[in-house]
Structure 1
Amino acid sequence: MTTSTPVHDVLGIGFGPANIALAIALEERYPHLTARFLEARPTPEWQPGMLLDGSDIQNHPSRDLVTLRNPRSRYSWLNYLHEQGRLLRHLNQPVPFPLRKEYAGYIRWAASFFSHQVDCDQRAASIRAVEQYGERLYEVVTERGDRYLGRTLVVAPGRTPYIPEPYDTALGSRVFHLTQYMPRLEQLTADGAPEAVAVIGGSQSAVELALDLHRRFPRTRVVTYSRSHSLRQKDTSPFSEEGYFPEFTRYYFNASVENRRALDRYMQPTNYSSADGDVLEELYTTIYEQELDGDQRVFVRGNHQATKVAVTGDKVRLDFTELITGESTVDSVDFAVLATGFRNLGPGAHEELCPALLKPLHGRLATADDGRLQVGYDYALAPREGETLPPLFLNGLCESSHGIGDAGSFSLLSLRAGTLSDALATRLSAAFADVDAPAPVAA
């Protein structure tokens, strides 16, 4: 007996914050639409590899999964604290931002309300457009061989880690991206503290990793290597922070490619290659005190470019060139953590033309002259001229087209979910033009 595969109005790949926010928006605004999400992990999680003791988030907590779009929603950060019985305790905490591990608890809590719509341990292996049941649909097959069908597809797998040369030649158990930090650390230090560790990068994450390693292993030599001159403080000017307003998103989207790059250069210090003042002060004071005691174990090496990376046994050899003097140096460490960021969509050396999952469809999608995908303001990907595809959307991957507010942060997450839910409802309504689609449910 053959069992037919159900067709979902919305099929989503990934169930991290981006698609959790979308699930909330669909429930609150378009409850008549059916949705199914595929999550590669055993449970929906947010940054499980970076839930460091003492680390906080870098945005106002009410820039959460829902509040900017619907302040009355039950899925808000404040309601989470209320339901956990921790609202007053949290408000009494003398820090500006919540702990990252507590915000991760909020994400898990919100995701739990949609467990009936999510299939975990289902990593998407292939995507293709098919004709079935008289409809144009997307077929997603998972690594376990299960098949899913959707009238629309929303791709939100998270951004691809950026692994620069020459670290890509040595990637493995001892040279790894920060997204794997917690599990790799547990494996590598099971038998004792390391002698030396390298942190690569000049970001907030790099500083947090250096501090975390020093707290865990006070006698370990911890060296942060950066290609820039040194570590820089984030631009937290409220004027710059308006780059995380929806008005800036439209302004950026309508700019030319050249003008977008100029805006990128201005906005970069608000989110990239920079760190918050509190962690920079803690790291600097740590180094200062160690120098005072004549026992320095934490270092920052700026203007260092790796030329060769090799793993031999239980050690990693790192060859560097000092970019100003040209001096060559060599370091040997137990492992190296890459705080080197993530790839955006685009043709640049640090970018990728399209998400890996969509490569089989890339030839059927419209692109700009430089090869980048053409992304609509509603996050839809247009088919190439002469091609017919069901509606396809990106969620959380569109910084190169929508600006810094789409840079993997929570800043505009809920508003983007609203835009996507409206676009999905509109496209589905057009697909069934003979049936009037229900109006959005008032929030």
Structure 2
Amino acid sequence: MPDAAAPPLAAAPGRAEPAPRCHDVLGIGFGPANLSLAIAFEEEGHELDARFLEARPGPSWQSAMMLDGSDIQNHPVRDLVSLRNPRSRYSFINYLFENGRLLEHLNVPLEFPLRKDYARYVSWAATHFSSQVDYGTHVTGVAVERDAEDRRVYAVTTSTGQVHRGRSLVIGTGRAPYVPEPFDAVDSPRVFHLTRYLPALERLAELDVAHDGDRTPLSVVVIGGSQSAVELTLDLARRFPRATVTMLVRSLTLRLKDTSPFSEEGYFPGFTDYYYRAPRERKDAIDSYMRLTNYSSADGDVLRELYRLIYEQRLDGDQRVFVSGSRQVRSLDVREDGVHLAVEELNTGEREEHRADFVVLATGFRDLGPAAHQERVPALMREVADGFAFDEHGYLSVGQDYEVRPVESDTPALFLNGLCESSHGIGDAGSFSLLSLRAKIIADGLRKRLS
């Protein structure tokens, strides 16, 4: 039997506690942006110790929007790697090949891949890096502290109280959903953003949301006129054929996405450099022109499908899908029988009342900036924001290599991955368009800073 008076091993004389590990790179989020970065580290020969923290329980991409028949809106070769390294084993083409579906996929009569196929590609690529990722890890705080060698490092705290440390930080969490007034003051399962679409429908299935008690919604409102808004309207019409589905669109009506090859050059790296060098007032003018290439508009295929559906319903004398343009929701009230909305027709000033069993917000995402619809900094950067510079317009000062400019020279490097549309233009939107090239820029910047 051991001597009860003996001290525990941890306190034995001469035994030092191991120093907490400090990674070269801490990445928050492991969606496509930081996954592409991890691949770049491997393929570009950057021998950096990188650790990624991801809130989701496993690899996934847009899981709440896996709608039947929906496709992606970018050429499949604009994947995680191909623009940077066309010979990469992590390309979409190699994913199809390794899974025995290359010829079958090439025979599918679609311009772009199904979203389900691309989501499986992202998950497939992510499985090759599972040893570098802590899934199910919710980051709650970011701070700067000094390590044992008196160097300033990042300390990232999780919901379990665990602290991860890194010599640099890459935030790749994706942009925050934009929930406009008056919806931002509502906390109800009957009102939700598209980023929660499928889980929210599952939750609503547990509620009695219909008048006749069969748990089937009879009336739904979709807010917005984007590609996602049209896709959601079509999905709701198929999913609930007895329901009335109404789109409330602020513009005059639904608009066709600008897919001109000249406009599409906004997704070239040269255009990103051009945009970065432009002064803020010219950036605003460029944004106004480029907006219809990605926002408040939809592809021709879904617009034609929606119009055909409405026409056929009118032909049958049973219209259930409606597109109401020039509409603005002024107030809403969530009651036991549903959501009651007070709506203004913007051109005539007429007032309308709508009732819905639930409301889906296809209202987009927040970019970085000082305006009410923007975010001053990414949410997880708020605690350290004072250590970084802002320009005279109130925008976070981000270098061309995506590093945020610090106030003090010894501040550890912080890079933004996929959050810099306000500084780098439409090509840095939440899409795959320039993902792999941006990953190389950030990887090279990290290697330079950490060397």
Q: Same fold (TM over 0.5)?
A: yes
1:342 maps to which residue? 365
Q: Shift of residue 107 of structure 1?
A: 0.3
How far 1:387 sits from its partner (Å)?
Answer: 5.9
CA 1:23–1:171: 2 relative to 1, 3 Å = same
Q: Distance in 1 between matches of 2:157 and 2:179?
A: 28
Letter in 2 for 1:156: G
Partners of 1:388 and 1:7 lie apart in 2 by 17
Q: Which residue of 1 aligns with 2:6?
A: none
Is 2:128 the partner of 1:113?
yes
The corresponding residue for 1:312 is: 335
- TM superposition shift of 1:340: 0.1
Residue 274 (str. 1) matches residue 289 (str. 2): no
Query: Structure 1 length normalisation: TM-score?
Result: 0.95
Q: Which amino acid aligns with 1:35?
A: A
Q: What are the ranges of 5 or more consecutive residues in structure 1 without an aligned counterpart?
A: 430-443
Shift of 1:69: 0.1
State yes or no: 1:172 paired with 2:179: no
Gaps of 5+ in 2: 1-9, 11-16, 207-213
SS at match of 2:33: helix
Residue equivalent to 2:13: none
Q: CA deviation at 1:314?
A: 4.4
Question: Is residue 377 of structure 2 the alignment partner of residue 354 of structure 1?
Answer: yes
Deviations 1:66-123 (A, max 9, x none): 0000001000000000011000000000111000011000000000000000001111
Within the alignment, does 1:28 sit opposite 2:51 as a pair? no
1:368 to 383, 387, 391: 391
8 Å CA contact 1:5, 1:147 repeated in 2: no
More displaced stretch, 313-322 vs 236-245? 313-322
Question: In the alignment, what sits opposite 1:441?
Answer: none
Give the aligned residue type for 1:5. P
> Pairwise mapping of residues 29-428 of structure 1 onto structure 2 (< 5 A)?
29-134=44-149, 135-190=151-206, 192-384=215-407, 386=408, 388-428=410-450
Q: Secondary structure at the match of 1:344?
A: coil
Aligned CA RMSD, in angstroms, stands at 1.0
Q: How far apart, in 1, do the equivalents of 2:363 and 2:372 lie?
A: 13
What SS does the corresponding residue of 1:288 show, helix, strand or coil? helix
Q: Deviations over 1:195-226 (max 9, x none)?
A: 10000000000000000000111111000001
Length, aligned pairs only: 428
What secondary structure, in the 3-state scheme, does the structure 2 residue paired with 1:128 have? strand
Alpha-carbon offset, residue 44 of structure 1? 2.2
CA deviation map 1:114-155 (0-9, x unaligned): 000000111111111111021221110111111101111000
Structure 2 equivalent of residue 439 of structure 1: none
- Structure 1 counterpart of 2:295, one-letter code: Y
SS at match of 2:51: strand
Counterpart residue number, 1:14: 29
Inter-partner Cα distance in structure 2 for 1:180 and 1:4? 41
Q: 2-side partners of 1:43 and 1:82: how far apart? A: 23
- For the Cα contact (< 8 Å) 2:331–2:343, is it kept in 1? yes
Conserved 8 A contact 1:75-1:110: yes
Is the 8 Å Cα contact of residues 308 and 318 (structure 1) preserved in structure 2?
A: yes
Percent identity between matched residues is 60
Mapped partners of 2:326, 2:126: distance in 1: 42
Give the Cα–Cα distance (whole angstroms) in 2 for the partners of residues 341 and 44 of structure 1. 23
Q: Secondary structure at the match of 1:330?
A: strand
Q: How far apart, in 1, do the equivalents of 2:345 and 2:46 lie? A: 58
- Bigger radius of gyration among the two: 2
Equivalent pair of 2:46/2:447 in contact (CA under 8 Å): no
SS of the residue 1:280 aligns to: helix
Deviations 1:15-58 (A, max 9, x none): 00000000000011134211000000101211111010000000
